Structure 1
């Protein structure tokens, strides 16, 4: 059986080499200059938190070091991203737990576990939301919150989808050849309907427009 290529092999390597420190701030947007910070998660002191599609675990490391959670599980399916996270922040255990797993599989195996689950352009972007969001709802404890940022529109400004339709995003194979990832770029009301269908309530979707011709961001939140 042929192994699935790791399409995240190259992501974040330059930054990891040049900026390995725990980030001083937490940002939800692509330009990192607009929108709220960690306060969008609520008070996470003493909370059990999941980062869904954590990549090199920069956001998770920030929370673990600066906001006193009981534990942050930084979950990512990419072998390269998990290895990078271990190299950067493996010393932050036990408060930071680096998990090599797909978000859906991990959530399914951990019902009623998390006070907060979040993603910064993470698993909700690259996993069928009709599968991921119900598992996220079940993994939250009663009263728990799901918060994630995602693209408000396509690169180049084309509007997001009006239905749950995936698109393709450019990626690279480990050997550098071009490839594509499946990505969901959906309008605000589509995300809201998906969250409600997953059994979540108190849904809010706030848009932060692009700055300087960049990419706009939706900040989505809901509670169990």
Structure 2
């Protein structure tokens, strides 16, 4: 993200920061952030280099950094506002937690064979062209490294996910409150599998986590795991 690009994440999470400044006590992958599998999906992270792609306020990254003994968790986000919030909340957790302001694809290209684990919880994987992000993630992982991410199983409207690598324009706000749109990739299971395979990943596994509530903004979740060959 450059200084000339509007920060479409400027408003996201600001209200919560005022009342919730603690490291979370739980880690969930599902859309509702209230049930289902947790960090055990990632396996043993002891002394491993872990990257959170599109980390936002770095709440998930802070959880892993303080509870799972990694060598380092690197929380990457392109939004100046999200980076500032993450630094304010969890900057004191350095050096175990490193908070990086960068376009995720650029960061991954500059981090060849650095990571043992990359993950995204409705983060950069949702909002970045898979044709660019997945090969960059593969290049940033060490042999045998893993990519794990959760993403929408369908649109929040209930509309079916895309049968091809096609984005949708979803509502967003500029820092001044003016309406805008951003791109989001909501893809069917087989589309993610094909894209991961094309990027060089193997052992691709997709689980469907059902919605835990009702209403117009609830959704099922795809929990996707893939590994690089050793």
Normalising to structure 2: TM-score of the pair? 0.95
Q: 5 Å matches for 1:33-72?
A: 33-72=34-73
What is the CA distance between 1:32 and its match in structure 2? 1.9
Give the Cα–Cα distance (whole angstroms) in 2 for the partners of residues 92 and 33 of structure 1. 25
Aligned twin of 1:194: 195
Look up the SS of the partner of 1:91 in the other structure: helix
Look up the SS of the partner of 2:27 in the other structure: coil
Aligned twin of 1:13: 14
| Aligned partner of 2:224 among 215, 220, 224 | 220
Give the Cα–Cα distance (whole angstroms) in 2 for the partners of residues 34 and 156 of structure 1. 21
Q: 5 Å matches for 1:59-98?
A: 59-98=60-99
Look up the SS of the partner of 1:162 in the other structure: coil
Aligned twin of 1:143: 144
User: What runs of 5+ residues in structure 1 fail to find an aligned partner?
Assistant: none
What is the CA distance between 1:156 and its match in structure 2? 1.8
User: Is the contact made by 1:34 and 1:208 (CA closer than 8 Å) also made in structure 2?
Assistant: no
Count of aligned positions: 224
Give the Cα–Cα distance (whole angstroms) in 2 for the partners of residues 5 and 156 of structure 1. 26
Give the Cα–Cα distance (whole angstroms) in 1 for the partners of residues 120 and 95 of structure 2. 21
Aligned twin of 2:105: 104
CA offset digits 1:172-220 (Å, max 9, x no partner): 1101111111000000110000000000000001111112221111000
User: What runs of 5+ residues in structure 2 fail to find an aligned partner?
Assistant: none
CA offset digits 1:13-63 (Å, max 9, x no partner): 111111010001111112123320001111111110000000000000000
What is the CA distance between 1:88 and its match in structure 2? 0.4
| Runs (4+) off by over 4 Å | none
Root-mean-square deviation over aligned CA pairs: 1.1
What is the CA distance between 1:2 and its match in structure 2? 7.3
Normalising to structure 1: TM-score of the pair? 0.98
Give the Cα–Cα distance (whole angstroms) in 1 for the partners of residues 142 and 110 of structure 2. 14
